C-alpha cells in the first residue's frame, strides 16, 4: 500500500487554524448541519484559484484563503448562539471501519458517484473531449488504438476517446448506476462497450490494450499499488498508460482530507438538498465526491515514480494540467503557492 499522510508545505499556523475551523464545524454538525454545508461549500470553492460561477472579491489566493479561514471560524463560532431543534441525523449512509470490506466500499462508492453521473448533462459530457485535448499529449495516444478506460464512471471519457479516433474502447467500472447511465448515453456508439469489473483485479489478460486510461480512480481504491500494477499488466509492451491521481501537500489536500472525514457525519441527502436550495450548478455536485467517497487517498509523485520503476516501465513523463481549475495551472500562475496546492495533481504518461 502506498501511504503518504504528510501534508508538507503547510506552515504550522495555517495548519492550526484549519484544525480549529474543522473542530468547530464538527461540533456545529450536530446543531446546524446545513450551516456546515454552507460553510464548507464556501471554503471548498475558495481553495481553487478560479471559480467560474461566483467571482472572488480578493484575487490573491493566499490572502483570500487565510482571511476566509479566520472569517469562517468566527461565523461558525457565532452560529452556536442560534437556537436549534433536536436534530436527528440519518446515519444509515455511513459505516464503521470499511477498509477491507470490498462489497461495502463498492456499494458506498456507487451511491456517491451514481447520482453525480445522472446530473451530468450532455454538454458536460462533451466537455470531456475538450478537457482530454487540453490535458493529453496528442491524438496518437488513441488514434486506431485498443483502449481501456479503467474506472469509466458515466463513460464521458470512454466516449470522448472514441471521438478521438480509437479503434475500440472498453470502459470498466464496478458502479451499477454509472454503468447504466454510460450505456444509456453511449451504448449505441460504435466500437465502445462497457463492462462491470474491479480495477484491482481487471478481467483481462496481460498485454491486452494499446492504451490504458485511468482518470481519478485508483486513489479511491483500497490498494494504490495493486491498482497501478493492474493498469500496467493489461497494457501491451510499448503501449501507453495515462494515469491521473490525487497528490498531496498544502492547504488544499490537507483540507480535502478533513472534509472527507467531517462530512461523513452529515447525511448525503441533506447535503444534496441543501446544495440544491443554494441552486448550485449540476456539474459542481462534484464537491459531493470529496465529501462522501468512502476512500480518498493522497500520494506523492515520488512514491508513484518509485513504484512504477519497480514495475519496470520504460518511460514516465509528467504532464501539467493546463485548464484554469487544474492545480498545476494555479501553481504556475501564483508564485510560492505550494503551501496552498502542495504538489498539485499527478498526471503521468507511462510507457510500458
Ligand atoms: C472520480 S470517478 C472517475 C470516473 C471517470 N474516470 C471520469 O473521470 O469521469 C471514480 C470512478 O472509479 C470507480 N471505482 C472506484 N473504485 C473502483 C474499483 N475498485 N473498481 C472499479 N471501479 C472503481 C467509481 O465507481 C467511479 O465511477
Distance of CA 145 from the midpoint of ligand 1 (Å): 22
Count of positions (residues) in the chain: 352
Are the C-beta atoms of residues 156 and 120 closer than 8 Å to each other? yes
User: What confidence score (pLDDT) does residue 287 get?
Assistant: 86
Are 191 and 240 found together in one domain?
yes
Residue 129 lies in a domain: yes
DSSP character for 81? T
Are 169 and 263 found together in one domain?
no
CB of 158 within 6 A of ligand 1: the answer is no
Residue 236: closest CA among 319, 146, 174: 146
Q: Residue 7: pLDDT above 70?
A: no
Are 274 and 337 found together in one domain?
no
pLDDT tens-place string over residues 141-177: 999 999 999 999 999 999 999 999 999 999 999 999 9
Residue 82 lies in a domain: no
CATH number at residue 212: 3.40.50.150
Distance of CA 310 from the midpoint of ligand 1 (Å): 25
What SS3 state is found at 145? coil
Q: What is the pTM of this model?
A: 0.93
CB of 210 within 6 A of ligand 1: the answer is no
pLDDT tens-place string over residues 36-88: 999 999 999 999 999 999 999 999 999 999 999 999 999 999 999 999 998 87
Residue 280 lies in a domain: yes
Distance of CA 151 from the midpoint of ligand 1 (Å): 4
Order of strands across the sheet that contains 235-246:
192-196, 168-173, 146-150, 209-215, 235-246, 345-351, 315-318
User: What confidence score (pLDDT) does residue 188 get?
Assistant: 92
**5-12: average pLDDT:** 75
Q: Residue 5: pLDDT above 70?
A: no
pLDDT tens-place string over residues 319-349: 988 888 899 999 999 999 999 999 999 999 9
C-alpha to C-alpha distance for 299 and 180, rounded to whole angstroms: 31
Residue with cell 464537491: 287
C-alpha grid cell, residue 149: 478506460
Are 243 and 254 found together in one domain?
no
Minimum-distance ligand 1 atom for the alpha carbon of 110: 25
Residue 113 lies in a domain: no
DSSP character for 86? -
C-alpha to C-alpha distance for 68 and 76, rounded to whole angstroms: 12
In this structure, which residue's CA is closest to atom 10 in ligand 1?
217
User: What confidence score (pLDDT) does residue 325 get?
Assistant: 84
Distance of CA 59 from the midpoint of ligand 1 (Å): 34
CB of 256 within 6 A of ligand 1: the answer is no
CB neighbourhood size of 265 (10 A): 15
Distance of CA 246 from the midpoint of ligand 1 (Å): 13
Are 233 and 178 found together in one domain?
yes
Are 189 and 94 found together in one domain?
no
Are 235 and 256 found together in one domain?
no
C-alpha to C-alpha distance for 49 and 58, rounded to whole angstroms: 10
**Overall domain count for the chain:** 2
Are 174 and 277 found together in one domain?
no
Residue 107 lies in a domain: no
Q: Among 3-7, 159-163, 290-294, 345-349, which is the least confidently predicted range?
A: 3-7
Minimum-distance ligand 1 atom for the alpha carbon of 154: 9
Q: Residue 1: pLDDT above 60?
A: no
Task: Identify any residues that bridge with 96 across adjacent strands, giving them in sequence order.
Answer: none
Residue 112 lies in a domain: no
Residue 60 lies in a domain: yes
User: What confidence score (pLDDT) does residue 283 get?
Assistant: 77
User: What confidence score (pLDDT) does residue 8 get?
Assistant: 78
Average pLDDT score, the chain: 90
Task: Identify any residues that bridge with 315 across adjacent strands, giving them in sequence order.
Answer: 351
C-alpha to C-alpha distance for 117 and 181, rounded to whole angstroms: 7
Distance of CA 41 from the midpoint of ligand 1 (Å): 23
Confidence of residue 200 (pLDDT cuts 50, 70, 90): very high
Are 286 and 323 found together in one domain?
no
Strands (E), the chain: 146-150, 168-173, 192-196, 209-215, 235-246, 315-318, 345-351
For the chain, the straight-line distance linking the first and the last C-alpha, in angstroms and rounded, comes to 21
CB of 114 within 6 A of ligand 1: the answer is no
User: What confidence score (pLDDT) does residue 140 get?
Assistant: 83
C-alpha to C-alpha distance for 158 and 53, rounded to whole angstroms: 28
- Domain of residue 221: give its range: 120-247+298-351
Are the C-beta atoms of residues 172 and 150 closer than 8 Å to each other? yes
Are 140 and 230 found together in one domain?
yes
Q: Residue 93: pLDDT above 60?
A: no
Residue 80 lies in a domain: no
**Which among 132, 204, 212, 220 is the best mutation to test ligand 1's pocket, defined by most ligand atoms within 8 Å of the CB?**
220
CB of 179 within 6 A of ligand 1: the answer is no
Are 277 and 317 found together in one domain?
no
Confidence of residue 96 (pLDDT cuts 50, 70, 90): low
Are 241 and 278 found together in one domain?
no
Amino acid at each position: 500500500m502506498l501511504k503518504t499522510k504528510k501534508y508538507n508545505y503547510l506552515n504550522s499556523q495555517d495548519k492550526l487554524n484549519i484544525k480549529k475551523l474543522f473542530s468547530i464545524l464538527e461540533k456545529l454538525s450536530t446543531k446546524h448541519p446545513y450551516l456546515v454545508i454552507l460553510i464548507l461549500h464556501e471554503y471548498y470553492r475558495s481553495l481553487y484559484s478560479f471559480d467560474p460561477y461566483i467571482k472572488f472579491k480578493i484575487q490573491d489566493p493566499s490572502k483570500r484563503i487565510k482571511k476566509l479561514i479566520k472569517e469562517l471560524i468566527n461565523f461558525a463560532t457565532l452560529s452556536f448562539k442560534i437556537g436549534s431543534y433536536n436534530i436527528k441525523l440519518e446515519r444509515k449512509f455511513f459505516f464503521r471501519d470499511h477498509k477491507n470490506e470490498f462489497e461495502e466500499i463498492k456499494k458506498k462508492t456507487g451511491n456517491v458517484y451514481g447520482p453525480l453521473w445522472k446530473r451530468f448533462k450532455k454538454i458536460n459530457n462533451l466537455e470531456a473531449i475538450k478537457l482530454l485535448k487540453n490535458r493529453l499529449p496528442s491524438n496518437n495516444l488513441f488514434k486506431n488504438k485498443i483502449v481501456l478506460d479503467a474506472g469509466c464512471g458515466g463513460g464521458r471519457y470512454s466516449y470522448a476517446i472514441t471521438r478521438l479516433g480509437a479503434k475500440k474502447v472498453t470502459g470498466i467500472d464496478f458502479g451499477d448506476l454509472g454503468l447504466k447511465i454510460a450505456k444509456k448515453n453511449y451504448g449505441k456508439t460504435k466500437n465502445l462497450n462497457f463492462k462491470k469489473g474491479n480495477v484491482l483485479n481487471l478481467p483481462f489478460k496481460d498485454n491486452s490494450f494499446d492504451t490504458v486510461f485511468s482518470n481519478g480512480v485508483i486513489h479511491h481504491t483500497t490498494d494504490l499499488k495493486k491498482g497501478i500494477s493492474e493498469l500496467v499488466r493489461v497494457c501491451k509492451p510499448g503501449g501507453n498508460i495515462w494515469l491521473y491521481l490525487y497528490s498531496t501537500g498544502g492547504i488544499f489536500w490537507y483540507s480535502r482530507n478533513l472534509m472527507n472525514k467531517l462530512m461523513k457525519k452529515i447525511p448525503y441527502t441533506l447535503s444534496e438538498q441543501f446544495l440544491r436550495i443554494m441552486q448550485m450548478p449540476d456539474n459542481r455536485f462534484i464537491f459531493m465526491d470529496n465529501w462522501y467517497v468512502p476512500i480518498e487517498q493522497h500520494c506523492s509523485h515520488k512514491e508513484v515514480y518509485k513504484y512504477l520503476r519497480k514495475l519496470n516501465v520504460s518511460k514516465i513523463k509528467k504532464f501539467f494540467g493546463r485548464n484554469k481549475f487544474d492545480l498545476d495551472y494555479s501553481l504556475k500562475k501564483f508564485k510560492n503557492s505550494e503551501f496552498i496546492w502542495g504538489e498539485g495533481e499527478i498526471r503521468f504518461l507511462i510507457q510500458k
